[in-house]
Amino acid sequence: MKTRSKHTIYRFIVFLLAVMLAEGLAPGQIQAGAEDALKKEMDETRKVAEAGNADAQFKLGNFHYLGQGGKADSAQAKLWFEKAAQQDHVEAQASLGVLLYMGASQEQDVAKAVEWFQKAAQQGHPGARKHLGILYDTGQGVRADPSEAARWYGLAAASGHPDGVRLLERAVELSNKANNPDHVQTQALQEQLAQARKGAAEPVNNPLADLSASLNQAVDLQNQGLYDKAHPLLSTTCGNFLKVAGDKNPETGWCFNRLAVLESVMGRMNDSEATFKKALAIQKGALPENHADILGTLSDQAELLRMRGRFKEARAQLEGVLGKSGAAELAEVRMAAKGNLAKVHEELGNFEDAVTLTREILDFETATLGNEHPNRLTTLNNLAGLKRRMGDFAGAEKDYRQALEGFEKVLGAEHPATITMMNNLATTLESEGLFDQAEPMFSQAWQASEKVLGKDHPTTMANMNNLAMLYESQGVFEKAEALYNKAISLSEAKLGASHPDTIAIVNNLGYLYLLKDEHKEAAKRFQRVLTVWQGELGEKHQKTLKAMNNLARAEHKAGQVKQAETLFLRALLLRKEVLGAKHPDVLRSMHDLAALYRTQKRTKEARELLKTTLALDEEVLGKGHPYTFETLNTLAGVMEDGAALQESFPLRQEGFQRRTDFLNRMLWVADENAREGYIRLHAPELSAYLSLLTLLQPDVGGREALDVSLQRKGLLLKITSEIQQVSQIAKDPALTELTQKLAEARKELASLTLSGPTPETKDSYIGKIRDLGSKVNDIERRLGQASQRYRHTTLQYSVDQVVSLLPPKAALVDFLVFNQDGKSKLMASTMVVENGKPAFNMVVYPDLDQIQKGVLEYRTIIQSEEAEPEDVMQVGQKVYDLVWGPIVASLGDREDVYLVPDGILNILPFNALVAPDEKYLIQKIKLHILSSGRDIFPSSIPEAKGDILIVAGPDYDSKKVVGDVQLEAVSKKRAAAVMQGLRGAGSGMRGLHFDLLPGAEKEGKLITDQAKDKGQKNQIYTQNDAQEKLMQGLSSPPRVVHVATHGFFLKPDDSLKKRLLKLQRGADIQMPPPGDNPLLRAGLAFAGINANAPFLGELDTVNDGVLTALEVLGLHLEGTQLAVLSACETGLGEIHEGEGVYGLRRAFMEAGVQSVVSSLWEVSDAGTQNLMTRFYGRLMAGQAVDVAMRESQLELLKSSEWSNPYIWSAFMLVGK
């Protein structure tokens, strides 16, 4: 169980920046028996105000704002302030400025606020002048201008603002920066500051007023999270109160109350306890026994007792406060005590009592303050928090949303309270397993908190912690670990190593190490957490019990079974006692103890405990919650341990379907890195299911494995492809804009990656790659979110549908790679249909390593010029025996086979396998190679009706593509960098060089002639015209794309990878290195590449001569029926099990192409030309794509000149 950082939402009593309104009663604080008199006064004031009196109008505005005589009404307050302000009422002008700045009655309007501040400032209003200084200082509503800010700060001080010295210190600092120390403005301000300090040191007429100003300043610093600045100021102020006012003054007691509260927030519990005693001693000597100040301090002291785990003492003290605060004038004190008592009941597990008290507060505030008052919204937040802890996530979500909407309306989207509420809502969404909604909300809250509050504000650190937890849930452990460590460093420096917030984040980092199987690191963190929390909070505190349970989990994983069992049993016993039998923490402990029983071979106990836990998980948390998944999987594992396969199968099956639903929802809103993280995180769960299927009857296992493949294989390709397609064809302008932004960001990333470090970027190169990668990932995530409304275009897939769609006398073969006992294994599921009835089978291959070696050996010997035909046939037959032989019996006499490869089989030339009768497989079977069984289904994207686009035989040496002048300019610019040795022109893409392919141009022209003969429209571009921009600039998708050029796939950039990893050890990189993206290392060559290669990255990537696979993703190819990549190695890339090959073939399919012809190795111009002209001849004659390709390959096989499989089997057709 993880610990979520929480921060108090401070009660709102006054305005955001400073008190500008006239003195009056706080909202809702109406003296007993004074209501009628106040109403009468308000009515009289209204009559005078309506007659046009500015003072009365201002006073009436105050009535409405403060809620005197009724509910607070900011809109009415603004109306009357505006009337008075238009009559040059200076206080009204200043107050109206504050309302507009806050957006209290409408959308925030800082520009209008500036206008009214200026009017009031011109009349000498100190507060308005100070606010103008702040706005010019921060650039809000006006252009940031340090000199102008300094001027207004100086004027505010000159007009008597109580913070004059502090304002002048800031003014001098700004003037020094904007001008210099000798500037006339700086000199004048320094003199003014000296006089102000001198005056401040002299006796003043009202020292208590100055001390009160210091007290307010300290509280303001506390609210900003600046505890290290607030504490010394507040401590000094309280000491001065003692000296000036003595220990019999209520103000002195109130100051020490504030100091005690601050110390509790800082985690200085012992200091806080001593300060509370001092505050109470002073207050009891100065005030009557049941005075509001004394009762308020007792309530605050009880909150400290709660924080220290002394719940019974806290409850007794708070109940005493409530017994003494029944009078009407003590309503606020009574409500505050109820709020603290609700927290105590929450800690004790008395959630119903806590909810009852919180609802009473909510009802009171609704009646006295109105629905939109910040106090009422804060209480609604507290009620939502209770519901979340009780497992009522739906109720919590509803309340959090209402509170968030209220804060956004009243205080604005970037107010600290709004940010905190956004974080709380995101936390609840994560608890519900709704990661797709939680991630963008966490990101928004973190970014807003950094902007508004600063990087080391407690709220910012809490948001950072919570976003790290979400990344952890997604399986993006590198991002999570980096964020945790950053948050811990900031928290230790800001709050201290033992502060509750610091320890909470350390706990979460320990949990991450637990997930990463770094058990010793996890145990160290949990032991630190347990020691601190047990000492500060007591053994029964919920946080202590979390640490205890987590330490037990780490000990279990580390093999310390006895210690783990003792801790688990203790944690479970106390959690039930404190939290109740159905609390999520209790369910966590139940699962963990059962998992330990499984390790100890106590199968019966584990089984019964897990069944009970699963039922409670589904009841309390729902079927899609992560805890429920974990319990389901553990229970299935226990069943399998006892060979109860028939009982385990429905559990695994149910878990698979639930997880599939989860992934289908999640992958649409996650970025590419997060998508891979989700797949990687849940891969062990999938492998466990597949391993179980291998133990069932072959027909049952085969059918279910086909379903697994339909739902999961190539899922990343499927989701990304659909997002791309939909975004290209949708009419929604928002999608168009997002797509354009993604294209621009990818272009910039590609440019920087290709260029290497330049003199301008050598110090920031790695950081810029990281930042651009983050930008691309963010846009990808937003694109997925915006595309959700179009998901009706996608299909639902089932094995039964495949049965109905599979042609008569055809078979389906689906290979799956999975992990079993730490070793990769291979299975094949087969299906044939006879008289409308399917027959399923499963084959499990004994040795995947041997198959992988055989595939690589066959690929090598096929390409060897020295290999004898007999040797090629011999290896081909060996691989046939390894791969195809085991499934022959399942296929029977079927000659039409739909095949879905996985792993290394993605680059195996299946057609060239040699059967025992020494015939190639292509001679015996019609193979249809698919990226997934889903390719059997009809496409939901309409087929493109455009022309045939042919790009063939580019002039790689051409300088006309970019132009001599631009190349010369770039060359001169790069000369210095080359001399510095920042990169070598012979490595990576800058070292690319291609020989001309005269046969490619001829190939293209022959295809053009064939198209013309058949009356089919086509466009051909050759030599200098065969430029990359033709592909990048497509305005509509062509029907067929044929590219006859060089292709390439580069090895990873090891030097870049090392630099990135070195930086990553410093926790500066939080994601997989985008610069090493395999889609950036595969590409096609176009005109001008040889001339442009040394300057790649500095030229416009739209037409630099290299079309990378990453750039292909953004091409306008949705619905294109066929893409032929008549180039070498276009079918290669990095192989990802379950996802196919990351390279050009994958990129074209993701861009929306239905079928792709790509090459498995380099082929001669003549051989390629012969195959392609035959292929297109048949295609133009009306043959289907797959039929045309097979017949053309067979024709070459029969010829004496082209019968070598090196030629005819080099090209693979994949797709529909």
958-1017 pLDDT tens trace: 888 765 545 455 444 433 333 232 223 334 566 778 888 878 888 899 999 999 988 889
Read off the tokens for 969.
Answer: 């300019």
Going by their DSSP bridges, the two strands 810-820 and 1140-1143 should be labelled as unpaired
| Alpha helices, H only, 475-622 | 477-495, 500-515, 519-537, 542-557, 561-579, 584-599, 603-620
What pLDDT is recorded for position 278?
Answer: 96
Say how far apart CA 1125 and CA 1133 lie, in whole Å: 14
The CA distances from residue 1144 to 61, 1035, 1140, 1153, in Å, are 68, 21, 11, 12
Lookup result for tokens 């590609």: 750
What pLDDT is recorded for position 6?
Answer: 27
pLDDT at 153 over 90: no
For the ranges 219-223, 329-333, 1169-1173, which has the lowest average pLDDT? 219-223
The CA distances from residue 575 to 389, 529, 544, 589, in Å, are 13, 17, 10, 8
920-969 pLDDT tens trace: 999 999 999 998 888 888 876 788 889 999 999 999 888 887 655 454 55
Q: What integer is the mean pLDDT of 1165-1194?
A: 91
What pLDDT is recorded for position 24?
Answer: 25
pLDDT at 705 over 90: yes
- More confident site: 729 or 506: 506
Q: What integer is the mean pLDDT of 737-750?
A: 64
Q: What integer is the mean pLDDT of 854-876?
A: 92
Amino acid identity at 115: E
Say how far apart CA 987 and CA 1055 lie, in whole Å: 10
Q: 1112 exposed, middle or buried (CB, 10 Å; 0-12, 13-18, 19+)?
A: buried
- The highest-confidence range among 243-247, 700-704, 761-765, 1024-1028, by mean pLDDT, is 700-704
1054-1090 pLDDT tens trace: 433 332 222 222 222 222 222 345 667 778 899 988 8
Residue 254: CA atoms inside 13 Å, Cβ hemisphere, count?
14
Percent with pLDDT over 70 in the chain: 80
Say how far apart CA 147 and CA 141 lie, in whole Å: 16
Q: What one-character DSSP code corresponds to residue 959? A: S
What pLDDT is recorded for position 990?
Answer: 66
What pLDDT is recorded for position 1167?
Answer: 84
How many CB atoms within 10 Å of residue 200?
11
Say how far apart CA 674 and CA 663 lie, in whole Å: 11
659-681 pLDDT tens trace: 887 776 666 655 555 566 677 77
Helix, strand, or coil here: 86?
coil
407-422 pLDDT tens trace: 888 777 877 788 888 9
pLDDT at 33 over 50: no
pLDDT band at 736 (very low <50, low <70, confident <90, very high): confident
pLDDT at 1178 over 90: yes
pLDDT at 753 over 90: no
pLDDT at 544 over 70: yes
Say how far apart CA 301 and CA 272 lie, in whole Å: 9
The CA distances from residue 1152 to 1039, 1121, 1156, in Å, are 12, 9, 10
Say how far apart CA 815 and CA 774 lie, in whole Å: 35
What pLDDT is recorded for position 338?
Answer: 95
Geometric angle at alpha carbon 189, from 183 and 190, rounded to 5°: 90
Say how far apart CA 722 and CA 1115 lie, in whole Å: 14
Q: Give all domains of the chain, ordered by start, each with its CATH number.
A: 35-410 (1.25.40.10), 697-744+759-930 (no CATH), 948-1163 (no CATH)
pLDDT band at 517 (very low <50, low <70, confident <90, very high): confident
Say how far apart CA 42 and CA 56 lie, in whole Å: 10
- The highest-confidence range among 564-578, 618-632, 966-980, by mean pLDDT, is 564-578
pLDDT at 181 over 90: no
pLDDT at 465 over 60: yes
Q: What integer is the mean pLDDT of 778-782?
A: 70
What are residue 1142's DSSP bridge partners? Answer: 1134
Helix, strand, or coil here: 834?
strand
Q: Do the Cβ atoms of 931 and 1214 come closer than 8 Å?
A: yes
- The rounded mean pLDDT for the chain is 80
Q: How far apart are the first and last CA of the chain?
A: 46
Say how far apart CA 1091 and CA 956 lie, in whole Å: 7
pLDDT band at 916 (very low <50, low <70, confident <90, very high): very high
What pLDDT is recorded for position 964?
Answer: 56
pLDDT at 690 over 50: yes
pLDDT band at 202 (very low <50, low <70, confident <90, very high): low
DSSP 216-260: HHHHHHHHTT-HHHHHHHHHHHHHHHHHHH-TT-HHHHHHHHHHH
pLDDT band at 21 (very low <50, low <70, confident <90, very high): very low
